[in-house]
Structure formats: structure tokens, C-alpha cells
Amino acid sequence: MEPMPLTWVGECSAWECDELGHMNMRHYVYKFAQARARFAYTLNLPEAVEYGATSQIRPTDCHIRYLAEARPGAPLLIRSGVLALSDHGADILHIMYHVDGRPAATLRETVEHISQRTLGLFEWPQRTRDAAQGNMTTLPDFARPRGVDLNAAPQRPDAEQVKAWGQNYIGTGVFLPEEADSFGRIAQPALFGRVTSTVGHFDQAWPENYDADNYGKISGALLEARLAFGPDALPGQAYDFYSGIQAVTENVRTLVHIMVNAEDGSHIMSMCGVGGLMDLTARRHMKTGKAEIKSLSALAIEELSI
């Protein structure tokens, strides 16, 4: 694979880290969003990210893999490229690297080019098509999905569907102005951040974390996720948050989280996350015991979908 253009350089700051001692997953996504904005310049389309722009590069769904944890002070960089291009959409790959060349995380996203006036699909200008051809790349094996199915089209469930599935209602809130992007709509990384600050209330999925003997010693860690985004949310809108267990194995637990509009029940965002237990002392993955697999599997809802 040819080196892709550099689209972001920075580090993992201590304030971006969580109780696991490494960068919280929301901050990976914030950095990938910065890389997407910089990549717009590489594609000769800076007006798609600037304030007052006439068009926008809007993600509709994405797949992220966490490969090598970033801890406080770790220098990081992101390179971006185009996997595929259509008349008004694209499949874009971002790879975050440690300074020694190890991949830290990958984000593959489906984006659409939309008009800010009509919010409808808007064809890429020829200059962007030309630039994209010079920045095509291929998907490396380490970015391929392992526990999620990218071939299945997102379903984007609403409140009626999540209640029919019997998902757990675990949270609610209101979006704030500071979570909006330059277009005045809630940015996708902010939606992802709401997941990280809410899932701790889904104690059914990680009962080991709430055992007094394990406190501070083990925790659940996200390994991979697929997200689907609905219509843009706005500051001041209220949301409700639902979670459910889809499947449990010795190595991983697959959870589905869905955020819906609290007023009309419409879909805002959904996420299928694959995680595993982490030994915080040894900094390594732990297996789930047979008894725990049995009890967790009894709570699973196989038909959950994003």
C-alpha cells in the first residue's frame, strides 16, 4: 500500500484518557474528524468544511478498529485515502499511527456530498474527482472487520423498534451548542462521545466490573465498532439511549446501542460495539468464563441491528 497523505498530527493528552489509562474512544473519533476535514483540502474541496460552506462531506456510517492503545504523551499521526468514489459519495479510509509506525486505530467511513441549501445529494466537482484519483488506496488487512458485518445495510431503528426488541433504557440528555459543527448540527464525534459517557450504566453487560474484588483491576474495552447516523440532530434536542446484548463468546461481547429523538422517536445514531475484558495490570485481554457466558447469553437479543 502506497503511503497516504498526512491529514493530522498530534498526541494523546492526559485529559483525553479514561479510567483504563488510555485514550478514550471518543477522542480517536474527534481526531479522525479533524483528518477528514484536512483531507477535504487534499480533495480540492475546502468549502465543504469551512464556515458558511455551500456543501458538506457528511458521514452516514463508519467502522472503527482499535489496534494498539494510545497512552498519555504518545505522539500520533493520521493518513487518509479514498477506497471508492461514486457520483456524490465516497468510501474513505483513515489510519492512525504511533510514531514508531504501528497502527493505533483505523476508521473506514461512508460519506456523502450534500448541498447546504437543500441538504440533498450534490455531485462532486470535477477537481475533486481528479484529486481523488490521485489519492486512491486499498484496505489493509488490519482495517478489515472481524466482529461486525459491513455487508449488511444499516437499519437505523427508531424508538418503536428498540422497545419491541426489549432493549434496556439506560440514559437521556440534551445536545449542547458546543457539540455542534460549523454547520450548526451536532457533530458525529459528539454523538460517539455520548456513547462513552452513557454505557457505564449498562451494568448487565459487564457484571465483572461491578464486583468489589475486581474494582480497578479489570474493565471492558472496545475493540471494534460500526456506527450508523440518522438525520442530523440539533442543539437543544433531547435524546433517549438504549442498549442491549447481541452475543457473548469467550473472547468478546457484542453490544448494540441506539440513540433516538426523545420527542418523536426517530433514529439519531446506532452502534454495534465488539469489546472484551481487559486486565488493567497486565494490559492484556482476558477471556470470559463459561458460567458468565451462560448468564450473559440468557440476556442476549440476537435480532438487534443498527
Same domain, 159 and 280: yes
Same domain, 49 and 3: yes
Q: What is the pairing mode between strands 89-98 and 75-85? A: antiparallel
Q: Which of 120, 144, 168 is the last residue of a domain?
A: 144
Domain tally for the chain? 2
CB proximity list for 264: less than 8 A, separation 6 or greater: none
Same domain, 226 and 303: yes
Same domain, 219 and 238: yes
Residue 217 has pLDDT above 80, yes or no: no
Same domain, 180 and 301: yes
Mean pLDDT of 55-81: 94
What pLDDT score was predicted for residue 52? Answer: 74
Same domain, 152 and 301: yes
Between 47 and 164, the higher pLDDT residue:
164
Q: Which domain holds residue 126?
A: 1-144
The CATH number of residue 127's host domain is: 3.10.129.10
Smallest CA-to-CA distance from 272 within 156, 172, 161, 179 is with 156
Q: Which of 110, 144, 178 is the last residue of a domain?
A: 144
Same domain, 172 and 83: no
Position 216 confidence tier, pLDDT thresholds 50, 70, 90 = low
pLDDT per residue as tens digits for the range 39-61: 999 999 988 887 777 888 999 99
Assigned C-alpha cell, 286:
482476558
Same domain, 120 and 161: no
Same domain, 154 and 300: yes
What percent of the chain is modeled with pLDDT above 90? 74
CB proximity list for 272: less than 8 A, separation 6 or greater: 148, 225, 226, 227, 246, 254, 255, 256, 304, 305, 306
What pLDDT score was predicted for residue 3? Answer: 80
Quick one: 214 exposed, middle or buried, by C-beta within 10 A (0-12, 13-18, 19+)?
middle
Spatial separation of the C-alpha atoms in residues 129 and 82, rounded to whole Å? 11
Assigned C-alpha cell, 136:
486512491
What pLDDT score was predicted for residue 212? Answer: 62
What pLDDT score was predicted for residue 100? Answer: 96
pLDDT per residue as tens digits for the range 268-282: 999 999 998 888 777
What pLDDT score was predicted for residue 82? Answer: 98
Q: Which of 89, 109, 144 is the last residue of a domain?
A: 144
Position 18 confidence tier, pLDDT thresholds 50, 70, 90 = confident
C-alpha distances (whole Å) from 222 to each of 107, 141, 151, 243 are 14, 19, 21, 15
C-alpha distances (whole Å) from 286 to each of 52, 154, 217, 249, 296 are 49, 30, 11, 12, 16
Position 184 confidence tier, pLDDT thresholds 50, 70, 90 = confident
Same domain, 199 and 281: yes
Assigned C-alpha cell, 93:
479510509
Give pTM, 2 decimals: 0.94
Position 297 confidence tier, pLDDT thresholds 50, 70, 90 = very high
Residue 221 has pLDDT above 90, yes or no: no
CA of residue 226 relative to chain centroid, distance: 6
Assigned C-alpha cell, 155:
437499519
What pLDDT score was predicted for residue 218? Answer: 75
Same domain, 167 and 281: yes
DSSP per-residue codes, 89-111: EEEEEEEEEETTS-EEEEEEEEE
Same domain, 231 and 206: yes
Would you say 108 and 140 are in contact if contact means Cβ atoms under 8 Å apart? no
Residue 296 has pLDDT above 80, yes or no: yes
Dihedral (CA of 225, 230, 235, 236) sign: negative
C-alpha distances (whole Å) from 303 to each of 155, 165, 211, 276, 296 are 12, 8, 29, 21, 16
Would you say 300 and 247 are in contact if contact means Cβ atoms under 8 Å apart? yes
Would you say 34 and 49 are in contact if contact means Cβ atoms under 8 Å apart? no
C-alpha distances (whole Å) from 236 to each of 171, 216, 248, 259, 297 are 16, 36, 36, 15, 38
